Structure 1
Amino acid sequence: MDRTDHGNPYLSGLYAPVAEEVTARGLPVTGRLPDALNGRYLRNGPNPMDVDDPAAHHWFLGEGMVHGVRLRGGRAEWYRNRWVRSDAVALRLGEKLPHGPRHLDMDAAANTHIIRFAGRYLATVESGPLPYELDGELNTIGPHDFGGTLRGGFAAHTVIDPANGELHAVAYCWAYPYVTYIVVGADGRVRRSVDIPVEGRPMMHDFSLTGSHVLLYDLPVVFSPQSAAEGMSFPYVWDPERQPRLGVLPRDGDAADVRWFEIDPCFVFHPMNAYEENGRITVRLARYDRLFGKGSTGPDESVPLLERWTVDLAAGSVACERLDDRPMEFPRIDPRRHTAPHRYGYGVLAPTEGYGGGAARLHLTGQEAPTGAGRVGAGLVKYDLERGTSEIRRNAPGEDCGEAVFVPASPDSAEDDGWLLSYVFDPERGASDLVVLSAQDIAGDPVARVHLPVRVPIGFHGNWLPDAG
């Protein structure tokens, strides 16, 4: 599809879907892959098969496709891309329909994230559908409800608590006047489920978890029955009359135990991490001032900016502080530091084109960004949150990088001792690479580049899933 034909940037250029599933073995590598990288790097994202009205198509709604690279023994054994098989996808491909449970009869291929938990690969999506289980070669097994213990839908984002290996999520669904806090035991069965009433059916894309609390983002993007009745494919809109709130729920509490804190209007897709010290909760996140107020086909109405929110439980207040004026999304940390204090964070710097531009100032250091930095293509940023500094890796002209996932060098290595993995488009080849960077030198030459035979479209989230043992 060409953008001039339909005016939808999310079906064009590096966002454009690929048309085929590919299997390639024995991938060429520039540099040397670390011997410790034994596992799979998997990333999920929308890859629509058929679009009835391209001009109205919303980026969040394309069929899910998982792109994966298998690394072992210093070699890149294979690359695969596979659509997640909902009934609609299986019918389109002329295949047998997948078997499994459904929530509210929703047939929605998961297109947002991919995790491994209790020995299962799970592709996830928000707003009510179940996750879909895949095998190690990315073939779809079918919808998964944690052995029949999940009584509703699931969520796009989860947190695995490093302390005990349990999976936490907050699920919402357009059909219900509540959200549900879910805890899945290490045995793969839901052991706790708490329904928390919220008015207006808000979009709650993600949540935050500390050692003792769950943070709920009740913000002004809400389900619109009128928009749904009018046939809007993505019927979530900005409600300027809605009071934004941050909810704080004790991990062992009930709905009545949630404390709600009023905050200024904003929207949050992705927190970086949250933790508690001395009666205060600190969370760093990418904040948008406003979204989905103009009927856009993606999150392109305001810039995502890194902020620190401090919740003083004794005083009953939330203090918000801007940390960086450069647009940044997809924040990640060392997964071993989830729910705990951490020094480093990583994210994708977005170009300001499409967001309205503007000068960039790094509040962490108080120094101006390089001239024109906001107008250069996307890149990666590493934050040293203790020192208040950052390091940037800018993409070359025509390149684009996806979410960077941190992989520790060993189970007991230091927080920043490891690698960042990301898919990067190479304009010279017209295809993508899996790039392995030293987390301690993200601006330096890559440790390795695995050359894929095809382009990986700009997508959403992924994980490094090491081999068991």
Structure 2
Amino acid sequence: MTGTTHGPGHGAANPYLSGLYAPVRDETTAVDLPVTGTLPESLRGRYLRNGPNPLHVDDPAGYHWFGGEGMIHGVRLRDGRAEWYRNRWVRSDAVAGRLGEKLLHGPRHLDMDFAPNTHVQFFAGHCLALVEGGTLPYELDPELYTIGPFDFHGTLPGGLSAHPVVDPRNGELHAVSYCLAWPYVQYVVAGVDGRIRRHVEIPVPGHPMMHAFSLTERYVLLYDLPVVFAGNGRADGPHPAWVPGRPARLGVLPREGAAHEVRWLETDPCFVFHPMNAFEHDGRFITVHLVRYDRFFDTGRPRPGERTAHLERWTVDLAAGTVRRQRVDDRPVEYPRVDPRRLSRPHRYGYAMRERTAEADTALLKYDLERGSCVEFEVPAGGDVGEGVFVPAAPHAAEDDGWVLAYAYAPERAATDLVVLAAQDFAAGPVARVHLPVRVPLGFHGNWIPDHE
């Protein structure tokens, strides 16, 4: 194992700078990782996850989790072995400069330079670190070193969302992006050649925070909800804020439609960070599974656990122009995922992370949405687990025939494991644990990148 220490220590008074959120100060490379259990031979590729890991914090009391520079944590699996673990900061020019390295330069959108900290997505031969708000994606090489900003070969007309959707039917990438300099949100579609083939600018008032969107076979769903960016006069810039009385609406745009073809359907005030999936049925309905907050950013920048969300099913009646809500589960959850082969298609199963409460630590959940049942994998006392990513056992395997991968903090080691669960025997616990030599701070989203991509 090798490590290089960077940056000063961080204050512990801010919960996002202490405990399991605390940033790590080393970039680590470890090989031939120890494994408890048996890694499935079919897992040949890299599990990558992005998250905030600030290099330096000028004002620890004012720091929020969403603002830290991104760090990618990755594990390489092949032939039943865990070949390596690596963690690397995404090198924006600001990060490279602070580390005393050569600046990468490259294209920018509106001169924004930020190390994306939210997601990582492989598309058209490019591994991309992603963030919302107008910043370009940054491309990574197979060993997680930063190549530089990526503008889809000069065709991206702005920034990109942190939550694109790759259509499993044709491999195209869809995204809905926002930027504070725009009076609109932008829907883009990239072809499998890695170039933007279509973009639509959809006017929306008040700079809403559209963290994500949903895609169906024929439609794009836009979440225009009562969280907007305000406070241009603040020293730390605009920030998301809940606006009482602002209408909540769901936009329905035909995939090949123009901006004026969006139908805006009213719904109850709420906020949505993460949809699970959406699909059409019976010729007139759209079903959306998503995680819904009653409100968010209504008390400034929230602290851990201050607001919780629940899994809901929204039924959109296109003929009647209505949205009907139904709570699926009373557990507090986040980070919903499905089998990526089912995105924009009907799905039976979904996965989520149960939030920590005063009564229990976190858990991974598997939902059977047809039966209305849920199975839990609970971490040991004092532990934690992040987003679960489903990996099919084979290209044409059944929807739940595969594995769920996640980083889980192991308190007995004060370090993190990559846990591998069999989706069809979820409650039995991991079939394998890859023991990392370090702690992976709590973070956001990741993906599995198989070797053939």
Query: Normalising to structure 1: TM-score of the pair?
Result: 0.93
**Conservation of the 8 A alpha-carbon contact between 1:292 and 1:301:** no
User: What displacement does 1:433 show?
Assistant: 0.5
268, 274, 279: which is aligned to 2:272? 268
Q: Tell me the residue number matched to 2:26.
A: 20
* Residue of structure 2 equivalent to 1:358: none
Contact conserved, 1:59 with 1:297, CA < 8 A, in 2? Answer: no
Task: Give every structure 1 segment of 4 or more consecutive aligned residues whose post-TM-superposition deviation is greater than 4 Å.
Answer: 297-300
CA contact (8 A) 2:377 2:429 kept: no
Instruction: Work out the CA distance in 2 between the residues paired with 1:55 and 1:244.
Output: 32
Q: 1:366-396: CA deviations, max 9, x gaps?
A: xxxxxxxxx2001011100011111011111
Aligned partner of residue 232 in structure 2, secondary structure: helix
1:446 CA drift (Å): 1.3
Aligned to 1:100: 106
1:463 alignment partner in structure 2: 447
Measure, in 1, the Cα distance between the counterparts of 2:15 and 2:391.
32
Of 419, 427, 431 in structure 2, the residue corresponding to residue 447 of structure 1 is: 431
**Equivalent in the alignment of 2:87:** 81
> 2:113 & 2:270 partners in 1: Cα distance?
31
Partner of 1:434: 418
- Is the aligned partner of 1:307 residue 2:300? no
**How far off is 1:99 after superposition?**
2.6
Question: What residue is the counterpart of 1:330 in the other structure?
Answer: 335
Q: Which whole-Å CA distance do the structure 1 matches of 2:238 and 2:62 have between them?
A: 9
In the alignment, residue 280 of structure 1 is paired with which amino acid? F
Identity, % of aligned pairs?
A: 66
Q: 2:364 aligns with which of 380, 393, 397?
A: 380
2:201 maps to which of 181, 195, 198:
195
Match of 2:5 in 1: none
Does 1:392 pair with 2:392?
no
Choose from 25, 38, 41 the match for 1:35.
41
Distance 1:231 1:450, change over 3 A: same
Taking the aligned partners of 2:304 and 2:260, their CA distance within structure 1 comes to 33
TM-score, structure 2 normalization? 0.96
- Kept after mapping to 2: 8 A contact 1:125/1:154: yes
Correspondence list, 1:42-441, <5 A: 42-224=48-230, 227-232=231-236, 235-278=239-282, 279-298=284-303, 300-353=305-358, 375-441=359-425
Distance 2:305 2:102 in 1: 38
Contact in 1 for aligned 2:52/2:68 (Cα 8 Å): yes
CA distance in 2, matches of 1:401, 1:445: 13
Separation in 2, partners of 1:201, 1:48: 26
Quick one: distance in 2 between partners of 1:2 and 1:290? Answer: 34
CA–CA distance in 2 between the matches of 1:24 and 1:297? 35
| Count of residues in correspondence between the two structures | 445
Residue 234 of structure 1 deviates from its aligned partner by 6.0
What are the superposed Cα offsets for residues 8-48 of structure 1, whole Å, 9 maximum, x if unpaired?
21111000000010000111111111111000000000001
Q: In 2, Cα distance between the equivalents of 1:143 and 1:299?
A: 31
Q: CA shift at 1:219, angstroms?
A: 0.6
State how far apart, in whole Å, the 1-side matches of 2:305 and 2:179 are: 24
Q: Distance in 2 between matches of 1:230 and 1:339?
A: 40
In structure 2, give the amino acid aligned to 1:237.
Answer: A
Q: Which string of whole-angstrom CA distances, capped at 9 and with x for unpartnered residues, describes residues 199-221 of structure 1? A: 00000000000000000000111
| Cα displacement string for residues 201-252 of structure 1 (whole angstroms, at most 9, x for unaligned residues) | 000000000000000000111010xx23122456111111211110000001
Amino acid at match of 1:65: M
- Equivalent-residue separation in structure 1 for 2:357 and 2:330 (angstroms): 11
Q: Which residue does 1:357 correspond to in 2?
A: none
Distance 2:337 2:262 in 1: 27
Inter-CA distance 49–297: structure 2 relative to 1 (3 Å threshold): farther
Coordinate RMSD, CA, aligned? 1.4
State the distance in 1 between where 2:105 and 2:95 align. Answer: 13
Q: CA deviation at 1:297?
A: 4.4
The one-letter code of the counterpart of 1:264 is: D
**CA drift at 1:299:** 6.6
Q: CA deviation at 1:445?
A: 3.3
For 2:114, give the aligned amino acid.
A
In the alignment, the residues of structure 2 paired with residue 28 and residue 10 of structure 1 have an alpha-carbon distance, to the nearest angstrom, of 30
Q: Distance in 2 between matches of 1:230 and 1:467?
A: 46
Aligned partners of 1:235 and 1:145: how far apart in 2?
26
Change (3 A) 1:263 1:46: same
Distance 1:336 1:439 in 2: 15
Range with bigger deviation, 337-346 or 227-236? 227-236
SS at match of 1:164: coil
Contact (CA 8 Å) 2:305, 2:356: kept in 1 or not? no
Q: Which amino acid aligns with 1:444?
A: A
Q: Distance in 2 between matches of 1:61 and 1:228?
A: 17
Query: What secondary structure is seen at the aligned counterpart in 2 of 1:70?
Result: strand
Q: 2: CA distance between counterparts of 1:296 and 1:99?
A: 32
Q: Give the SS at the match of 2:252.
A: strand
In structure 1, the gaps of 5 or more residues are: 354-374
Deviations 1:51-78 (A, max 9, x none): 1111111110000000000011111110
Range moving further from structure 2, 278-287 or 288-297: 288-297
Aligned to 2:3: none
* Kept after mapping to 2: 8 A contact 1:308/1:321: yes
